[in-house]
Amino acid sequence: MCGILGSAIFGLDFARVSYREASQRAYDKLQHRGPDDYDMRYYCGSQSSASWSMALAHARLSIIDTSPAGRQPMESYDGNFTIVFNGEIYNYRELRDDLRVLGYSFKTQTDTEVLIAAWAQWGVQSLSRLKGMFAFAIYDRDAQTLTLVRDAFGIKPLFYHASDDNFCFASEIPALMELMLKRPALNLQRCYDYLVHGHYDFGTDSFFEGVQQLAPAHHLTVDLAKNRVGDPICWWRPSIAQRHDWTFPDAVEATRAAFLDNIRLHLRSDVPIGAALSGGVDSSAVVCAMRHVEPQMEINTFSFIASDPRVSEEKWVDHINTHIGARAHKVRVSPEDLLRDLDDMIAAQGEPFGSTSIYAQYRVFQAARAAGVVVTLDGQGADELLAGYNGYAGQRLRSLIETGRFGDALEFLNGWSDWPGRSKVTGIKAAAAQLAPDSLYGPMRQMNGDTARPSWLSTEWLRDRGVTLRFPDMTPKRSQKGRRVMAELAWSLQERGLTGLLRHGDRNSMRFSVESRVPFLTTDFAELMLSMPEEYLISQGGETKHVFRAAMRGIVPDVVLDRRDKIGFVTPELDWLRQMADTLREWLAAPFDLPFLDQEKLVAEFDLLLSGARPFSWQVWRWVNFCRWCQSVS
């Protein structure tokens, strides 16, 4: 786990653009991602009348082969390729064996050396062989090209900017902005989507104009000699085609074997490993599987414990820790803690985010580093792969109805609605939303009390500047009759939902120089889950993660697998915000140049929501987060 950056300048004098100084400033912004080692190298070339110069830099958090031999940028055996790489290739030992058969030799024990050899041998085709999380840039000296690559789910970040004079990339936006020749303006469409609808981390746009993120499972090549940036190309997209050649017991066995194999691979490390434990099925499965595959391993768990007993997971955390014999580390926080750390967390995230709930995660990673744990395993991605959350009732009912299984649809609705927090009415509404034509989406949102033109926003000013004032399209671009759940899951894995959660985890963990691993998220495990009949993931009785719970029998205690609630790292946001109200009101009223935001009306709305005169919503946090973030980047 590391930080990477690079900048190519085309036809400009280095002294005039302070190229080297900018690269050093950019590195300073990434140092938290890789405090163990650092190196920067410079390259140049020309063809005909065109010339270019480039810097590549790497800040290293040493995980595999912690010796100086792992320093990057790293060159291939023949010197033709140079790589800067952020992430881990978990199956690097197996790939190394394959490459040795093909004649490659290795000087280090790093996965980086294996990755660059795999690229030299197979090029883009090597990506389908990788089990890991990665964002890397690879320079081809002979071809004079620079290729950027991002892992299948976007676990590791990679931002870039392209102009006539400059192409640059970095792991985080603050570093990238140091490399840009001109400071970017705010992306008004993204600001609107976030403030009004709470949407962020979808698509490739960032909160800044001209700053893009490479989409998950994409690669992009820059022809340095011709100063030409190619279009991003997708190298993997999950299939939702159903397998028909197995039974439920077969699926259970395959799920168990694949998940345990993922855990084994994700435990490869030359530094101490721990786990984030919320007490739910997903994180409990991770830590119990760790004990199953490594019976003698010392396991440290890190858990947020809410002060409100109604949402506290402490009894479940204690049960799992006792079951596996783990050393427990518990984090308890107060509103004063949040107020103290809020600016730091906003800066660490780089862009606005959804709610204060990620503060619990921020503190968990802080506790891990304080305990000397450098790598943690996390249950992120399980809900999106296994149809968790509330069970995707609308999509499942649509699948049953459109395939003529009306009796099964009624049976599913009855079983689904018996679970806590659900009802037949909410299930029917979800199905109606799925079955309604797209033209009714906006009116249905308005009937639900939503608005695309809130009074505290100068929507006319935004519209005049090209902002589309609408309810965002929330349906998958590709679907399949009878496979609506699977289409939703595949979409959420790469385009909506999981992308934001992975951003939270990456920035929070790297703020404290901790590598967070997510063993649910491998391409083969995703293909396995998405090939199953939908009833294997959501049972007719409404049980989410149906096949996975069955696969974990004998590894995870039944009392946890049979839980009918889901809490996770939940923070008492309303109580916290009320206790911080005076400070937050000052932040919202502080003058800054945002002509589309009516701060006087915003503060009035803030007071109404916190007083209880209007129902509380996540809107309060979005106001606070956005205003404070804008002040920090101005």
Residue 382 neighbours by CB under 8 Å, 6+ apart: 281, 282, 285, 388, 520, 545, 548
Give residue 568's pLDDT.
56
Give the Cα-Cα-Cα angle 367, 322, 513 (nearest 5 degrees): 20
CA–CA distance, 264 with 257 (Å, rounded to integer): 11
Give residue 580's pLDDT.
87
Give residue 286's pLDDT.
98
Q: What is the pLDDT of residues 306-360, one digit of tens each?
A: 888 878 899 999 999 999 999 999 999 988 999 999 999 999 999 999 888 899 9
Residue 315 neighbours by CB under 8 Å, 6+ apart: 279
- State the average pLDDT over residues 20-31: 90
CA–CA distance, 111 with 70 (Å, rounded to integer): 9
Give residue 23's pLDDT.
86
CA–CA distance, 179 with 173 (Å, rounded to integer): 10
Residue 68 neighbours by CB under 8 Å, 6+ apart: 37
Most confidently modeled of 223-237, 472-486, 557-571? 223-237
Q: Could you tell me whether strands 218-223 and 166-170 are parallel, antiparallel, or unpaired per DSSP bridges?
A: unpaired
Give residue 445's pLDDT.
62
CA–CA distance, 288 with 410 (Å, rounded to integer): 36
Give residue 483's pLDDT.
96
Both structure tokens of 182: 């001109």
Q: Which residue is listed with tokens 């962020």?
A: 200
Q: Could you tell me whether strands 166-170 and 159-162 are parallel, antiparallel, or unpaired per DSSP bridges?
A: antiparallel
Give the Cα-Cα-Cα angle 143, 146, 148 (nearest 5 degrees): 140
Give residue 576's pLDDT.
82
DSSP E strands in 469-522: the ranges are 515-517
- State the average pLDDT over residues 25-36: 93
For residue 81, CA distances in Å to 198, 409, 542 come to: 42, 56, 52
Residue type, 475: T
| Under 8 Å between Cβ of 81 and 140 | yes
Q: What is the pLDDT of residues 117-134, one digit of tens each?
A: 999 999 999 999 999 999
DSSP structural state of residue 364: H
33: helix, coil or strand?
helix
Query: Which of 346, 503, 488, 509 lies closest to 430 in space, CA to CA?
Result: 488
Domains of the chain with CATH codes: 2-234 (3.60.20.10), 248-386+495-561 (3.40.50.620), 573-633 (no CATH)
Q: With 70 as the cut, is the pLDDT of residue 567 above it? A: no
341 alpha carbon, distance to own chain's centre = 22
Q: Which residue is listed with tokens 């031999």?
A: 69
- Half-sphere exposure of residue 16: CA atoms within 13 angstroms, side-chain side: 6
For residue 277, CA distances in Å to 281, 414, 475 come to: 10, 32, 32
CA diameter of the chain: 74
Give residue 1's pLDDT.
67
Helix, strand, coil percentages for the chain (3-state, nearest 5): 45, 15, 40
Q: Could you tell me whether strands 37-47 and 212-213 are parallel, antiparallel, or unpaired per DSSP bridges?
A: unpaired
Q: With 80 as the cut, is the pLDDT of residue 11 above it? A: no
CA–CA distance, 42 with 82 (Å, rounded to integer): 11
- State the average pLDDT over residues 21-32: 91
| Under 8 Å between Cβ of 298 and 323 | no
Give residue 436's pLDDT.
82
Number of other CB atoms surrounding residue 119 within 10 Å: 21
Q: List alpha helices for 2-61, DSSP H.
A: 14-17, 19-30
Q: What is the pLDDT of residues 180-228, one digit of tens each?
A: 988 999 999 999 999 999 999 999 999 999 999 999 999 999 999 999 9
Mean pLDDT of the chain: 92
Query: Which of 45, 71, 55, 58 lies closest to 6 in space, CA to CA?
Result: 55
First-to-last alpha carbon distance for the chain, in angstroms, is: 29
| Under 8 Å between Cβ of 126 and 104 | no
DSSP structural state of residue 263: H
Q: Which residue is listed with tokens 């000087």?
A: 107
